[in-house]
Amino acid sequence: MRVLVTGGAGFIGSNLVEELVRRGDEVTVLDDFSTGVAENLKEVRDRVKTVQAPCAELLKLKFRPELIFHLGIPSSSPMYRENPLLVGGAISDFMRVMELAKQNQAKVVYASSSSMYRGCPRPNREDMQTPPFDYYTEARLAMERLARVYHQLHRVSSAGMRFFSVYGPHERAKGKYANVITQMILSDEFTIYGEGSQTRDFTHVSDVVRALILAANKEGALIFNVGTGRETSFNEVARLIQKIKPLKIKYAPNPIKNYVERTQADLSLVKRELSWVPSVKLEDGIKRTAEYYGVI
Residues 64-73 have pLDDT tens digits of 999 999 999 9
The reply to whether omega before 123 is within 30° of 0 (cis) is yes
Residues 94-123 have pLDDT tens digits of 999 999 999 999 999 999 999 999 989 999
User: In angstroms, rounded to a whole number, what is the distance separating the alpha carbons of residues 231 and 253?
Assistant: 22
Which amino acid is located at 37 in the chain? Answer: V
> What is the predicted pLDDT for the residue at 257?
85
User: In angstroms, rounded to a whole number, what is the distance separating the alpha carbons of residues 29 and 10?
Assistant: 10
Phi, psi of 265 (to 5 degrees): -80, 135
User: Mean of the pLDDT values across residues 180-208?
Assistant: 97
User: In angstroms, rounded to a whole number, what is the distance separating the alpha carbons of residues 93 and 111?
Assistant: 13
> What is the predicted pLDDT for the residue at 223?
98
**CATH code linked to domain 2-166+204-229+265-279:** 3.40.50.720
pTM: predicted TM-score of the whole model, two decimal places: 0.96
pLDDT band at 167 (very low <50, low <70, confident <90, very high): very high
Q: Where are the domains of the chain?
A: 2-166+204-229+265-279
95-122 burial, b if ≥16 CB within 10 A, otherwise e? bbbbebbeebebbbbbbbbbbbbbebee
Report the percent of the chain where pLDDT is more than 90: 94
Three-state DSSP class for residue 245: coil
Q: What is the 3-state secondary structure (H, E, C) of 141-202?
A: HHHHHHHHHHHHHHCCCEEEEEECCEECCCCHHHHHHCCHHHHHHCCCEEEEECCCCCEECC
User: In angstroms, rounded to a whole number, what is the distance separating the alpha carbons of residues 103 and 2?
Assistant: 14
Residues 205-238 have pLDDT tens digits of 999 999 999 999 999 999 999 999 999 999 999 9
User: Mean of the pLDDT values across residues 122-130?
Assistant: 95
Q: Considering only the C-alpha atoms of the chain, give the largest distance between any 2 of them, rounded to a whole number of Å.
A: 55
